């Protein structure tokens, strides 16, 4: 069946899609690939299905844009009712707030191979502790940016990253104080993605650890997982300060 074994960690899938053709085709293809498929025509129906104690999907695939309850609001409701991995799907791009809130994204059309690959990537080991010798910014990324725009433009990019990190630090403090694992995971995911794109490797690595912490605390409903948040806050402050110093040294105002 498409070269995949049916013996996988993730097997039961809830597919939420308002388009009948897309829903039926995807359900058929993924069933042939070894997944146990359940479908819902919209967000409200999916929440009703999750209310049944016996229904515990490992994966939820949700169309990124649907009528009614959809997008990041739907992801929030899904996470309140399920520990499943939430993957946004779309025939084009997805809104930034959706990809930030979801655990992954797949572009339609896709099959069991693509879904399996994404889920395997999520099972990869958590990001390692920061290396004190690790550069603040990737020299390769910095060089590429300098070939694309004037120094003032590059400086503006990193100034925006520093400003964004400062805001996310405050949001992370609040989420940690409230024990909000979902918000911690979302903030970490956004830091990892944004800083990764800018080549801010130290901050991106801390973001990955914050994302992992939020996911773990959500899975365990808080508890000891949030005890590490103070250290990660300190690590993020240090990464932000290092990036600010790099900005001042490389691009003096």
pLDDT in tens, 135-186: 889 888 889 889 999 999 999 999 999 999 999 999 998 888 888 888 888 8
Under a CB-based contact definition with an 8 Å cutoff, are residues 86 and 78 in contact? yes
Whether residue 196 has pLDDT greater than 90: no
Taking the chain, what is the end-to-end CA distance rounded to the nearest angstrom? Answer: 60
Domains of the chain: 12-122 (3.40.50.2300), 139-250 (1.20.120)
pTM above 0.75, yes or no: no
Q: Are 76 and 51 in contact (CB under 8 A)?
A: no
Average pLDDT over every residue of 113-125: 76
pLDDT tens across 38-60, in order? 999 999 999 999 999 899 999 99
**CA-CA distance, 3 to 68, in Å (whole number)?**
37
Asked if residue 119 has pLDDT above 60, the reply is yes
Q: What is the pLDDT of residue 176?
A: 85
pLDDT digits (tens, 9 = 90+) for 73-93: 999 999 989 989 999 999 887
List b or e across 178-192, with b for residues whose CB sees 16 or more CB atoms inside 10 angstroms.
Answer: eebbbbbbbbbbbbb
Q: Give the per-residue pLDDT at 227.
A: 54
Amino acid 129: pLDDT: 53
Which is more confidently placed, 14 or 202?
Answer: 14
Q: What is the mean pLDDT of the chain?
A: 84
């Amino acid at each position: 069946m498409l070269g995949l074994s049916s013996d996988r960690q993730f097997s039961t899938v809830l597919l939420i899609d308002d388009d009948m053709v897309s829903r039926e085709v995807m359900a058929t293809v993924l069933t042939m690939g070894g997944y146990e498929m359940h479908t819902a025509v919209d967000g409200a129906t999916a929440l009703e299905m999750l209310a049944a104690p016996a229904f515990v999907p490992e994966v939820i695939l949700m169309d990124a844009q649907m009528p009614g309850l959809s997008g990041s609001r739907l992801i929030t409701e899904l996470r309140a009712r399920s520990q499943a991995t939430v993957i946004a799907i779309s025939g084009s791009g997805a809104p930034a707030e959706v990809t930030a809130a979801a655990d992954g994204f797949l572009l339609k059309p896709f099959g069991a191979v693509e879904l399996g690959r994404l889920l395997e990537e999520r099972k990869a080991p958590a990001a390692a502790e920061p290396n004190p010798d690790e550069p603040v910014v990737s020299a390769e990324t910095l060089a590429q940016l300098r070939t694309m725009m004037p120094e003032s433009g590059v400086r503006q990019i990193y100034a925006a990253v520093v400003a964004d990190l400062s805001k996310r630090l405050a949001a992370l403090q609040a989420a940690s104080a409230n024990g909000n694992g979902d918000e911690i995971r979302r903030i970490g995911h956004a830091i990892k993605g944004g800083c990764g794109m800018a080549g801010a490797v130290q901050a991106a690595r801390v973001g990955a650890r914050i994302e992992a912490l939020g996911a773990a605390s959500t899975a365990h409903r808080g508890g000891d997982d949030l005890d590490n948040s103070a250290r990660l806050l300190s690590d993020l402050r240090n990464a932000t300060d290092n990036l600010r110093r790099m900005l001042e040294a490389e691009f003096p105002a």
